[in-house]
Structure 1
Amino acid sequence: MSSSDRVARRKEATRKRIVEAAMQLFLKQGFEQTSVSQISEAADIGKGTFFTYFATKQDVLSFLGEQVMAAMTDADTPGAGAAVRLQRVFSAAGEWYVENEAPARQMCIARISSLNQADVSSSREPLMALLRSIVSEGLASGEFRPVDREAAVIMLASAYFAPVAQWTWQQDGPALPERLTQQLELALVAMVDTSSAREAS
């Protein structure tokens, strides 16, 4: 292993330690009541080291949000059909939450409990933009019924956020990937235009 690889691994380990410490504190005492000094102490690092990785404590939450969005974006396949794209990005999100269950759950609790509406809206915009792109493809191709685009985007966002919120607070019941799939299927029933298929048959 090269020295640059070792440095990269140490940096990633430090970032992970900061995130885990921050999530535990956010869950225990709330986002607003948690300071950067407390996070640094819990992560066993200097305060200056914290700022090497994150400009603010809000950026810790943003980092996790960016990770799940990156997983969804990587899974997206423009041109494959709107329904297929939605299935792939929802599936990727479910897998990410399963693989990162503890910090992901704590991130959701912190966001639901502590952040103001402006912060919540800002954190959701990348997802809304992705959904808007997919819905636009579905409308343009005729795959989706001729519905209002923004109404469809809001419905899909609800199909995503509702299962995530339910999973955050209820640890029993179906796994999150299953919940996401069920909600997406219900949304697609309302959106997919089946008239062409009926005419072809």
Structure 2
Amino acid sequence: MNREEKKRETRKRIMEAAVKLFSDQGYDSTTVAQITEKAGVGKGTFFNYFNSKEEIMCDLQGFWAVDEIMKLREHHGPYVPVIKELMMELIRRMQLNRPLANAMLTGMLSSPINLANQNDILQSVYEAAAPVIRLAQDRGELSRALSPQAIVEQIVQSFFGSMLFWCMEQGEEQLEAQMRVTMEVTLAGLAPQEEI
């Protein structure tokens, strides 16, 4: 196993340990020390890969989203309500309060490595979602004025923009309510428009 493969394997082991602990005892009750113990790595190794457990949560949500998007390829429509519900489920799974959401967003941007990791995850989301968006376009649910990639980018921008706005204590009191409004407006704007 070469060095890069070892690094990927270590990162995967840490994430798998975190998933197990988050599932068994909840996110808030899980500590970095518990994650490192379960993964069989030292704290220093953990911090070589993640700045915090919030960062792991963000990565996990990205991987979960890709898996769920891949399942939509087998869905027979309509797609837009399912896409909206997927975004809402992502928020529910995160169980974010404002300080945690702020820490997660900050962690994503805190270093070139973290940013590169997040961009890799986003690229996976784009690649998984573009065929689903094309199916929604073929059914007349989404406009053909934009490419599938551009539509996915708009949905992702709306998602993170809504989260940032909410972290700034703007909009709705609950993130789920904030995201519901954002997704309704975004997806309505991406629907085919009647010519006047």
Q: TM-score range by the shorter chain?
A: 0.5 to 0.7
TM-score, normalised via structure 1 length: 0.60
Measured in 2, the distance between the counterparts of 1:45 and 1:54 equals: 10
Q: Which residue of 2 aligns with 1:135?
A: 133
TM-aligned CA deviation for residue 55 of structure 1: 8.8
Measured in 1, the distance between the counterparts of 2:167 and 2:30 equals: 17
Q: Which residue of 2 aligns with 1:147?
A: 145
Q: What is the correspondence of 1:75-86 to structure 2 with a 5 Å cutoff?
A: 77=72, 78-86=75-83
Q: Which residue of 1 aligns with 2:60?
A: 67
Q: What is the correspondence of 1:48-197 to structure 2 with a 5 Å cutoff?
A: 49-50=41-42, 56-58=48-50, 63-69=56-62, 71-72=64-65, 73-74=67-68, 77=72, 78-98=75-95, 101=97, 105-112=102-109, 114-116=110-112, 117-149=115-147, 150-170=149-169, 173-193=172-192
Measured in 2, the distance between the counterparts of 1:48 and 1:12 equals: 14
Q: What are the Cα deviations for residues 44-97 of structure 1, in whole angstroms up to 9, with x where unaligned?
A: 96995347x959433956632343235544486432322122111111012112
Q: Which residue of 2 aligns with 1:4?
A: none
CA RMSD of aligned residues (A): 4.1
Measured in 1, the distance between the counterparts of 2:48 and 2:42 equals: 9
Q: Which has the larger radius of gyration?
A: 1
Identity %: 11
Gaps of 5+ in 1: 1-7, 23-39, 196-201
**Higher share in helix:** 1
Structure 1 186/69 Cα, relative in aligned 2: closer, same or farther at 3 Å? same
Letter in 1 for 2:58: G
Q: Which residue of 2 aligns with 1:29?
A: none
